[in-house]
Amino acid sequence: MLAQRRDDSGDGRGDRQETEPNGATLMLHESRIADPASAVALMRNVIDALRIDLSGLTVLIEAACGEYVCTPVIAALPGAKRVLALTRDAKYGTVSELTRLARAFERICVT
């Protein structure tokens, strides 16, 4: 879905969280996203209801803290060929943290 990127932050947040869906869910819970599975189900339902098809397209979108961390995944779910998510360090989170959270949503979507 999203382009692969290695996290070299060295903060010890565990490779397990990077590869296991349960680790992804835990990471999202710790970031105050109460029910990631329901959020993904809602994303899929809205995409289906609106018949959104981004097949073959490149989408440029923002990724930010809170509920906005899922925007790259929303673009990828309806088949975008490539998703480019722009973000920056902010007082609410770093680029590294936002990348990990977006990847967590991605992992939940493919399970």
In DSSP notation, 31-64 reads: TT-S-HHHHHHHHHHHHHHHT---BT-EEEEE--
CB-facing half-sphere around the CA of 29: CA atoms within 13 A: 9
Question: What is the pLDDT tens value at each position of the chain, 111 positions in all?
Answer: 444 444 444 444 444 344 455 677 887 877 777 788 888 899 999 999 999 999 999 999 998 888 888 899 999 999 999 999 999 998 888 999 889 888 888 888 876
- For 77, the token pair is 């779910």
Distance CA 111, CA 107 (A): 7
Residue-range domain boundaries for the chain? 15-109
Query: How many helices, marked H, and strands, marked E, lie in the chain?
Result: 5, 2
- The pTM for the full model equals 0.71
Closest CA to 59 of 42, 43, 77: 77
